[in-house]
Amino acid sequence: MTLKVKLATAAIWSSLISFGKGVVLEDAASLSSSYDFVIVGGGTAGNVVANRLTEDPKTNVLVLEAGPTDAGVLEIQVPFLCTHTTPQTPWDWNYTTVPQPGLEGASITYPRGHVLGGTSSVNCLVYTRGAKSDYDRYANVTGDKGWGWDSMFGYFKKSEKFTPPSDRHNTTDEFNPAVHGFNGFNSVSLPGAPTDIDGRFNDAIDELGGVFTRNLDTNSGEPLGFGWSQAVIDGPSGTRSSSSSGYLSPILRRPNLHVLVNAQVSRLISTGHQAGKGPVFTKVEYRLNGKGPLKTVQATKEIILSAGSINTPQVLTNSGVGNSQTLKDLNIAPQVDLPNVGENLSDHPIVTLAWLVNSNGTYDDFNRNATLQAEELQKWRTTRQGVFVNGISQHIGFARVPDFPNNPASGTDSPNYEIFVSNFLLGNTPPTGNFLSISAIMLTPGPSSRGSVRFNSSDPFAVPVIDAGLLVDAKTDVPLMREAVKSILHLVSAPAWKDYIIGPQSSSQPTLSSTDKEIDAFITANSRSAYHVVGTSSMSPKGDTKKGVVDPDLKLKKAGGIRIVDASILPFVPAGHTQAATYALAERASDLIKADHGL
């Protein structure tokens, strides 16, 4: 999704915007040699834990973040510019997958946030929680009721600060306040500027019936149906809410918190053995600014590993935690034999369809006309209104494929796919034309659609070998995705779009008269990742060392001193985008950690 226009004006504006009130450290001079907790990765989950643990002034915490500060970066702050934050930017790890057999052998770009806030600083802001049964399934497969919906619902609310939309329009009929939190740290909002397609979309849902029912709020745990998109935007300031802006910025002045950026952790070091526990890890080794010498810092209570679904397995591998034989082959001394480190990766495939439309009211020009973009940026800066307060989609819906044999969905009321609508071409913007795009995410990959994160070098800073496992389970995934594509084609056939849609953007795009075979060919040729990577350090029942990497309390199995808190612990990908789940799991993890240490 590279966009043609470079944000030439960004540097000028950046210097004008002050961000945050506290201090993010860029060198190690003022660090202590030891902290109660050292958090590896100042990303989505890591910053939640940093915030919650430092609520107690006697507990001190160090966050080590490999990437730079997000302070003053306009591409990160402006919701509409989310597609400019990756790939191949200073805030991206710039990963690529190995060739994906399910995608006709394509190697695909695989962005991850390399910046304070992690992937919450670079994602496209969509806020979805998934289905109740996704969480009840986590409870079932871990044997811990605390991961079930009834418990996690409280953590969704605890993390959330629902805010009025930027344009302060009346939102009474657009969401259900009863299922939201209003006092948390992560801001969520409804669209803050109207688009030309709002009326047509709502009319189309009412005209069609079938799976196209209305859902006042798809974040209630019962997502089936269509409604307004919610996004991690602070409405009043029209700004992205990331874990940095939301959870860290307001508390940076706490004297018991140190945040060091440009600090990449190589490995965790065990300094002793505890009976019945295995090695106990107490030291964290890292480098600053991408170069030596390696430094170490001590964690007296716990190391919290929050490096994300790709890099958490990397730090574990470097630390001798993984498949012992594989580690030996890499010349890494095995410390803890846990063969599932980096295995069982699960992700969502996404495919986008687009149409040329008879309107000048789409957002395409903002992605290709530098003058217009600069004008709109100035408007955003001075008024916090207009197109740039919106994310990539204002309309979203979830549907289930009826009577699908061995449906991999977590429960009978949970969806198989999501559809979201964009008022512009989501993808490379052509020089001319106005577009409508509708994307389908297949939310329930079949059991064999599992990838991995592996390593082919003992260099702790080497690039991981990533297999996203997309559409591997072709017998399950492709037919489910086909139903999603058919739903999109059905959606655009509604009378509401008459006189609006001119025709498909590409002649290879399926139509209602396409055969299943033609639709499937389009899917395998055009699907990419939604980047909802989970499962690489999965939870499994307490004491089960055959499956999984962490116990349900998120402590590393067969070892002491390490707890993993990030999206990698989820055994299945939820039926939605993954950040809401990540914030909620990090809130629960913080409570588990506090309880263990009497905080």
Ligand X SMILES: Cc1cc2nc3c(=O)[nH]c(=O)nc-3n(C[C@H](O)[C@H](O)[C@H](O)COP(=O)(O)OP(=O)(O)OC[C@H]3O[C@@H](n4cnc5c(N)ncnc54)[C@H](O)[C@@H]3O)c2cc1C
Residues of this chain that interact with ligand NAG (CB under 6 A) are 88-90, 92-94, 114, 133, 136-137, 140-141, 170, 172-173, 340, 343-344, 358-360, 369, 371-372, 375, 410-411, 456, 463, 465, 547-548, 571-572
Q: Which of positions 526-545 make contact with ligand X (CB under 6 A)? A: 531-532
Contact 471, 450 (CB under 8 A): no
Q: Is 532 a catalytic residue?
A: yes
Output the CA torsion 170→172→177→181 (10° steps). Answer: -10
Q: Is 42 in the site for ligand X (CB under 6 A)?
A: yes
Query: CB burial class (10 A; 0-12, 13-18, 19+) of residue 566?
Result: buried
- Contact (CB, 8 A) for 261 and 234: no
* Nearest-angstrom CA–CA distance, 143 and 366: 49
| Residue 581 Cβ vs ligand X, minimum distance, rounded to whole Å | 8
Supply angle C-alpha 137, 141, 146, rounded to 5. Answer: 70
Q: Which is nearer to ligand NAG, 93 or 424 (CB)?
A: 93
Sole binder of ligand X in the list 131, 205, 251, 265 (CB under 6 A): 265
C-alpha closest to that of 149 among 575, 593, 595, 592: 575
Annotate each residue in 157-196 with x if it binds ligand X (CB under 6 A) or - if it does not, as one string.
----------------------------------------
Specify the amino acid at residue 228: W
Torsion of CA 491, 205, 419, 423, to 10 degrees: 80
Q: Which residue is at the shortest CB distance from ligand X?
A: 43
Binds 111: which of ligand X, ligand NAG, none (CB < 5-8 Å by kind) = ligand X
> For residues 136 and 520, which CB has a smaller minimum distance to ligand NAG in the complex?
136
Minimum CB separation of residue 295 from ligand NAG in Å reads 19
- DSSP assignment string, 358-386: S-S-SSGGGGT-HHHHHHHHHHHHHHS-S
Which CB sits closer to ligand NAG, 82 or 523? 82
**563 touches ligand X by CB under 6 A:** no
Distance (Å, whole) CA 246 – CA 50: 12
Site for ligand X, residues 276 to 315, rule: CB under 6 A: 306-309, 311, 315
43 binds, among ligand X, ligand NAG, none (CB under 5 to 8 A by kind): ligand X
Annotated binding-site ranges = 115, 119, 123-126, 265
Q: How many CB atoms lie within 10 A of CB 432?
A: 9
Can you tell me the distance from the alpha carbon of 565 to that of 61, in angstroms, rounded to the nearest whole number? 15
Q: How far is the CB of 232 from ligand X (least distance, A)?
A: 7
DSSP 3-state assignment of 288? strand
CA distance 20 to 125: 20
Q: Is 348 in the site for ligand X (CB under 6 A)?
A: no
Binding residues for FAD: 115, 119, 123-126, 265
Backbone angles phi, psi at 520, to 5 degrees: -60, -40
How many chain residues interact with ligand X (CB under 6 A)? Answer: 41
Is the previous residue joined to 191 through a cis bond, with omega within 30 degrees of 0? Answer: no
**Contact between 78 and 99 (Cβ < 8 Å):** no
Residue 264: name its binding partner from ligand X, ligand NAG, none (Cβ under 5 to 8 Å by kind): ligand X
Q: Which is nearer to ligand NAG, 130 or 397 (CB)?
A: 130
> Whose Cβ is closer to ligand X: residue 67's or residue 510's?
67
Task: Find which of ligand NAG, ligand X, none residue 579 binds, CB within 5 to 8 Å per kind.
Answer: ligand X
Choice from 71, 74, 103, 125 touching ligand X (CB under 6 A): 125
Cβ closer to ligand NAG: 359 or 378? 359
Whole-number minimum distance, CB 414 to ligand NAG, in Å?
Answer: 8
Q: Which does 408 bind (CB under 5 to 8 A by kind): ligand X, ligand NAG, none?
A: none
* Helix, strand, coil tally for the chain in percent (to 5): 30, 25, 45
Residues in contact with ligand X by the rule CB under 6 A: 40-46, 64-67, 86, 111-114, 118-120, 122-126, 264-265, 306-309, 311, 315, 531-532, 566-567, 577-580, 582
Point out the residues that are catalytic: 532, 577
